[in-house]
A and B are shown apart, each in its own frame.
Chain A
Amino acid sequence: MFSDSFIILRKELKRMFTDRRLLFMLVILPLIMLPLMYSFMGRTSKARQSEISQYTSRIAILSQQGSEESTTLFLASLAELNTEIVIVQNDEFDVALQQVTDKDVELFIVMPEGMDQNLDENTVFDFTIYHNSTADYSDFAFSQVQLAFSAVSEAVIRARILDGGLSEDILTVFTINNSLSPEVYDLAKEGSVMGKIISMMLPFFIVIYLFANSMKVGLDSVAGEKERGTLAILLVNQVSRLSIVLGKMMAVMIAAIVGAISSAIGLKIASRYLISMYSESSESIAEYTMGTTALFQFAIVVVPLAILISSLVLVVSTFAKNVKEGQGMIMPVYLAVMVMGMTTMQLGDTPPEWMRITPLFNSLVVLKDIFMQTAAWGNIVYAMVTSLLVAAGLIFVTLKMFNDERVLFRI
């Protein structure tokens, strides 16, 4: 029986790895798509940030009565920023507001009346800064001006304290972890910071890649053969239907794993852009390593997971009349799997118990543990066994459908 399955598998693999179009979709595209996508996103984002920071912000300032002297102080704090100051008069107030709305001016700062006196008498006063939250340049200028004015505020407070004959230390009650560099106090295992980031992202990507690649090959495997009329000639030969199902399932599983490996390599290349989107950690993905045990644990969870996903795709492919119908049927399943992946992405360190006992979910949770190097063997074996049991159930259903002429020939 298994020898027949391998004969079927060999043909499916020959098709898969010699058909240039399929090979491109399965191996080359995931390899180049992720680095291209993330480097494009990274470069675009950096270019935008650089453009915004180099932009000369136009700031309109209205200095009211009694604020002439202190206005000079605050304007001096803006000198280091890339700004163009426009002094406006009281009668130009509405024009200045409109200019901010129209994005002709980034900010409109109204210096409060009597600010000089407020400063002298140590009384609180309120700045009014009009900005436009839908304009990136205005947002950036707003944050820069807030920082600059806060610096002036701190300098004024310091001067007041010193003038009162007090020590500057009165401003600070205590500090935390200030004696040595921050890394000294972080007792996480070496590489586990990156492990945490990887454990958050990778299980999701793995399940999505396994599913997407299974679909690329799996839907065509039976539904495509039905559609082209090539399945019947196989069924009238001396091969059992179980051998056909197993041969096809193995081919879909190999496609899923090959595609996932290719995607993982692409992901590693793209990781420096991706990691920077999730963390400001100084560790890089290249510093993260998995030991032999972790790699073995990874393999015994991922291979049964690939078998489960391939079997799931094969059930749909067998039931569907043609590839188009199969695509329509598999989409809700794909979305459900995506939601499951996203749910585990948001998990804390202790996932709920129901996730540990639910097939597919438990594989994702255990993969997280493996990347964090905290996986328990009991959980690994449980995930592996449940994946294989569900896959066996799905293969049984596929086999039933293969023996049902109403499903196979839609008669």
Chain B
Amino acid sequence: MLKVEGLSKEFRNGRGKSAKSVYAVKNLSFQCKPGEIYGLLGPNGAGKTTTLRCLSTLIKPTAGNAFIDQYNVIEHGQIFRSKIGFLTSDMKLDGYFTPDYMMNWFGKLNKMEDDVINQRKEKLFNDLQMMDFIHKKIDKLSTGMKQKTAVAISLIHDPDVIIFDEPTNGLDIVTSKAVTDFLISRAKAGKIVIISTHNMTIAEKLCHRFGILVKGELKEEGTLSEIIEGSNWGNLEDVFFSYILPGGDHV
């Protein structure tokens, strides 16, 4: 179980007395069960990436906390990281090395034995259809191949919680399907999957539950039917726009 409780992240622009405080995320709470795919939806600047970066331990929350079982993100950073696989579009791989080398290297950093790394590599390479390019330098790979490599590396240690920020951004339709199918298979295997996206079609297909984030605050949360039933709209996209478009019900 992943629990986020009252998570806030404040950024300060400028220095001294003239510094202005901006809340990227404010008092955010939600939770996800194993086998569930949770979609964090929101326009650009809504606080999706900041939330996920807090969960990955890359940045520290200003207030609140997040828990995986008995471990929390503030006090147990290293254990917390062992339980998550995190990927965001601005995370790049060292192009000098091959996917195979990087998988071995990250496996070692995640304290895995050689034979476990090899088994895990074989599974991920097959699941993500990567066998054709695992010995090519990452620099020479296409965007889709690089994204598959990044997905595989982030999951080398078989984490309980998968956190992907815009996982299909910039991918062609085939690679996009490969990644979403893979995430569905992980959820079926009992993993918790959290994705952020502003692509409603993918969100509807993929996620079991949703949270709509606007200006750092969670405006709606629930399953697709729960969200639609509680609104005047017939689909998720219209509910989403009602929060962000001028003249929308909630603007």
Chain A interface (Cβ < 8 Å from any Cβ of B): 4, 7-8, 11, 14-15, 19, 225, 228-230, 232-240, 405, 409, 411
Contact = CB atoms under 8 A, between A and B. Distances in A.
A11 B105 contact: yes
A409 B81 contact: no
B168 interface: no
3 smallest beta-carbon distances between A and B, as pairs: A229-B92, A236-B86, A405-B59
Contacts of A239: 109
A19 B58 contact: no
Interface string B106-147: 101111000000000000000000000000000000000000
A148 to B, nearest CB: 68
Interface of B: 11, 56-60, 78, 81-82, 84, 86, 88, 90-97, 105-106, 108-111, 150, 153-154, 157
A210 to B, nearest CB: 25
B57 A236 contact: yes
Q: B92, B97, B153: which has the most chain A beta carbons within 10 Å?
A: B92
A270 to B, nearest CB: 33
A240 B78 contact: yes
B96 A15 contact: yes
B110 A238 contact: yes
A238 B58 contact: no
Question: Per DSSP, are chain A's interface residues mostly helix, strand or loop, or mixed?
Answer: helix
Question: Per DSSP, are chain B's interface residues mostly helix, strand or loop, or mixed?
Answer: loop
A411 B59 contact: yes
Contacts of A19: 96
A237 B106 contact: yes
Contacts of B56: 236
Nearest to B89: A229
Q: A229, A230, A232, A237: which has the most chain B beta carbons within 10 Å?
A: A237
Contacts of A405: 58-60
Contacts of B97: 11, 14-15
A232 B81 CA distance: 13
A255 to B, nearest CB: 15
B93 A233 contact: yes
Contacts of A7: 105, 108-109
Contacts of A229: 90-92
A238 B153 CA distance: 13
A331 B131 CA distance: 46
Given A236-B86, A240-B78, 20 more contacts: A4-B109, A7-B109, A15-B97, A228-B95, A229-B92, A230-B92, A232-B90, A233-B150, A234-B109, A235-B58, A236-B57, A236-B91, A237-B81, A238-B78, A238-B110, A238-B111, A239-B109, A405-B59, A405-B60, A411-B59
Nearest to B106: A237
B74 to A, nearest CB: 13
A233 B111 contact: no
A225 B90 CA distance: 12
B91 A232 contact: yes
Contact of A237 (B11, B92, B95, B109): B109
A407 to B, nearest CB: 12
A26 to B, nearest CB: 15
A239 B109 CA distance: 6
B62 to A, nearest CB: 11
A235 B57 CA distance: 8
A401 to B, nearest CB: 14
B93 A238 contact: no
17 contacts: A7-B108, A8-B109, A11-B105, A228-B92, A228-B94, A228-B95, A229-B90, A230-B92, A233-B92, A233-B154, A235-B57, A236-B58, A236-B84, A238-B109, A238-B157, A405-B60, A409-B58
B52 to A, nearest CB: 10
Nearest to A240: B78
B185 to A, nearest CB: 22
